[in-house]
A and B are shown apart, each in its own frame.
Chain A
Amino acid sequence: MPETLTFYLLSALAIGASALVIGQRNPMYSVLMLIASFGALAGLYIQLDAPFVAVAQIIIYAGAIMVLFLFVVMLLNAPKEDGADWDQAHPLRLPPVTRLGSMLAVLLVVQLAWALMEANGIGGPVSGETGADTVSSVRQLGRVLFTDYVFAFEATSILILVAMVGAVMLARREGERS
């Protein structure tokens, strides 16, 4: 019973915070709402017996990527939306179009949910057995990561290096030589 309650609370928080991310005018508030959503998702990962993924989510997403977003929002002094006049008369903002768009979004959710419900073998509970032995340890993760998926691991490290060099190059001002 407390498990179900925790699940509903965390899912409500995740979905509510994500809806607020796209509903806010101020981009600074959007970033903070997304951090709340990531925290709720970390709680859901802990419920799914994946503590390492939960902590990695907080460290990587909420602790590093969102700090990056926050820096960019602050440094660019990102304005609130709907500032320009030509934005108000945008064709995507006409009432018939927004109504159709909302209907399509609801249709997408309904279709995804229907497809998931109709699939085989997912009506049952998430785990057959629970207990300390099903909580996957970091040792297990490391073993699989470095034996079965070692190529993907090394390729990811090169990817990060390339992204780092690329981000520094793209964000430099013209004419700097340092």
Chain B
Amino acid sequence: MIPLSHYLLVSAVLFAIGTTGVFLRRNLITILLSIEIMLNAVNLSFVAFGRQLGTVDGQIIVFFVMTVAAAEAAVGLAIVIGLYRHRESLNPDAFVSLKW
């Protein structure tokens, strides 16, 4: 049997990798991909806890998280397309006109 802490450790490592990606990468699409990694890490913890407690609530919330992630990815990519059309660059440092 695999202890719950193993699953949570995997989830923690994945979350940290996703956070690193959001902070360090200078490409808008890779930043969105790192956000997806973070959401998946959270899904894994939910399912693991749900299994531990013996309810299906963990899987229900994973269902909702996946749906929200899909909606967010669609809108985020539409925004990225609009930004690219404006500035011809996918680097977040190119969009600094609102900086003081």
Q: Which residues of A contact B (CB under 8 A)?
A: 3-4, 7, 11, 14-15, 18-19, 21-22, 27, 30-31, 34, 37-38, 41, 44-45, 47-50, 52-53, 56-57, 60-61, 64-65, 68-69, 72-73, 75-76, 78-79, 81-82, 84, 86-87, 90, 92, 101, 105, 108-109, 112-113, 116-117, 122-128, 134, 136, 140-141, 144-145, 149, 152, 156, 159-160, 162-164, 166-171, 173
Residues in A neighbouring B66, C-beta threshold 8 A: 56-57, 60-61
With contact pairs A41-B44, A61-B40 given, residues A125 and B33 touching in the complex (Cβ less than 8 Å): no
Contact of A49 among B7, B51, B67 (CB under 8 A): B51
Residues of B within 8 A of A (CB): 1-10, 12-21, 23-27, 29-30, 32-34, 36-37, 40, 43-44, 47-48, 50-52, 54, 56-60, 62-64, 66-75, 77-82, 84-85, 89-91, 93
Majority SS of interface residues in chain A? helix
* CB–CB A101/B14 < 8 A: no
